[in-house]
Amino acid sequence: MNVRRICVLRCKSLLNSKYLRSSQIVGVRKLTSPSGSSPKVCIVGGGPAGFYTAQHLLKSHLDIRVDLFERLPVPFGLNVINTFTQTALHERCNFFGNVSVGKDVSVAELRQAYHAVVLSYGAEGNRHLGIPGEDLRGVYSAKDFVGWYNGLPGNKELRPDLSSETAVVLGQGNVALDVARILLSPLDILKKTDITQPSLEALAGSRVQRVLIVGRRGPLQVACTIKELREMVNLPGTMADMVTADFEGVASVLKDLSRPRKRLTELLLKAAQGGTSGQVGAPRQWGFRFLRSPLEILPADDLTSAAGIRLAVNVLEGSHEGARAVPTGEVEELKCGMVISSIGYRSLCIDPVVPFDQHKAVIPNTVGRVRPGAGLYCSGWVKRGPTGVIATTMNDSFDTARSLLQDLEAGVIDASSVKPGSRAVLSSLESRGVKWVSFSDWEKIDKEEVRRGQRIGKPREKILDVAEMLRVAHS
């Protein structure tokens, strides 16, 4: 399988269950341009939002040309979908990796070179806990931790401390479960994945035996989806460790829940009651801890590393998914040497000319249209915030693409004007010494990673150094 930047265990939640393939766009009128006119669109970001936007534009407009610029030398981010490869290979689509927009080339330059620019670069920043002890050794963001075991170049030096018996993950979404699963997975399972060799070696020496997944609300508000929860409860060599009191009254409201929430809650109840396929007495445990909010990471005697976490005990006001967590004034402490914050990501402003809401960490927009001025759009997390599953990103990106196509048809975007497109941008990049990576260059990296993996019995061994990627790509 042509996979980049995936650990298979994480891929199951990021790829198989939620990623809907869209091989057909139904009910969209195919647009064309006047003779000799081909609208040129630049998309900033080579992840799912960028590729879904490109896919819709290419399928819906017979003349449009799309260039994708990505900060990393590789496409797809943490995800690979066959249809993304098909899009990248489309005759009217080009991929340019290792190009950092806002640094190597400005948004203003892109707007001069293209009829429209779509910002789809996702959320590269971390949300901070804002509590004492957050900077202690042993405290990590889930974004960095996931990047470490998935082989993102920026996280290769993380070297997490895995010497403690108990780890606490703050947040109860799919990423939190992915992290817990990596920490507790038997080594023989991890060896069959394309997790990086340094991460595999570190996890082989891990002493983590127990992972507690902490959330501020209750079982009816847990943010993960059923597939990820099912993989957690069925993980060999582990057993669920829940607090029975957290589930009081939950069974009585099952009939009032939506079908997805009902199925998820039923599986939670089953796990709490010890009725899953997990092994009673298994050496490793995991469990949710509900109605808890972090107050402070507690230091060890050396005052430099984490030794525990102090949590506020909450009660819920309201019901079901709209319930709000309210502190009771009671606190409790958990001993742990590792804390991983999975409370969400933040988009960043990559160029001061782009309007940006620093509080919400999004680009203000109307159905993807960025104001003021025509020709600037956004899609994905930078448009709506880091929420939803892949189907949300797909539909969101299609909405942005439709807005752009409507503006083309209405003449809001003047496609009759001559724009140089990638020719001008690549010329500027070359003069600045930027070595961009084409999709065919990426295929060389892909082939080399697969070759290295086969030598050691893995599906892939990822190249972790950007300079080495570039050497392979341009060989």
What pLDDT does 318 receive? 85
Alpha carbon distances (Å) from 10 to 15, 292, 399, 433:
8, 26, 27, 36
What pLDDT does 126 receive? 79
Residue 46 near residue 70 (C-beta atoms within 8 A)? yes
What pLDDT does 322 receive? 79
- Here the contacts of 258-264 (C-beta below 8 Å, separation 24 or greater) are 260/225, 260/226, 261/220, 261/320, 261/321, 263/226, 264/222, 264/224, 264/225, 264/226, 264/229
With 0-12 / 13-18 / 19 or more C-beta atoms within 10 angstroms meaning exposed / middle / buried, residue 475 is: exposed
The CATH number of 127-345 is which of 3.40.50.720, 3.40.630.10, 3.50.50.60, 3.40.50.11290? 3.50.50.60
What pLDDT does 215 receive? 96
- Domain boundaries, given as residue ranges, for the chain: 8-124+347-473, 127-345
Q: Determine which helix (DSSP H) or strand (DSSP E) holds 426, and give its type and residue range.
A: helix 422-431
CB atoms within 10 A of CB 324: 12
What pLDDT does 34 receive? 54
What pLDDT does 82 receive? 64
The SS3 call for residue 293 is strand
Q: Determine which helix (DSSP H) or strand (DSSP E) holds 51, and give its type and residue range.
A: helix 48-60
- Quote the radius of gyration of the chain (alpha carbons, Å): 23
- Backbone φ and ψ of 125, nearest 5°: -95, 165
Cα–Cα distance for residue pair 269/264, rounded to 1 Å: 9
Instruction: Look up residue 167 and give its two tokens.
Output: 């780890």
Superfamily of domain 8-124+347-473 in the CATH hierarchy: NAD(P)-binding Rossmann-like Domain (3.40.50.720)
H runs (alpha helix) in 171-219: 174-184, 187-190, 197-204
Domains 8-124+347-473 and 127-345 fall in the same CATH topology = no
What pLDDT does 168 receive? 98
Output the tens digit of pLDDT for each of the chain's 475 residues. Answer: 333 333 333 333 333 333 333 333 334 456 665 544 699 999 999 999 999 999 999 999 989 999 999 999 988 865 555 678 999 999 999 999 999 999 999 999 999 999 999 999 988 877 889 999 999 999 999 999 999 999 999 999 999 999 999 999 999 999 999 999 999 999 999 998 889 999 999 999 999 999 999 999 999 999 999 999 999 999 999 999 999 899 998 999 999 999 999 999 999 999 988 765 556 678 899 999 999 999 999 999 999 999 999 999 999 998 777 789 999 999 999 999 999 999 888 899 999 999 999 999 899 999 999 986 789 999 999 999 887 778 888 999 999 999 999 999 999 999 999 999 999 999 999 999 999 999 999 999 999 999 999 999 888 999 999 999 999 999 9
| pTM listed for this prediction | 0.84
What pLDDT does 21 receive? 30
Instruction: Look up residue 71 and give its two tokens.
Output: 């900060």
What pLDDT does 22 receive? 32
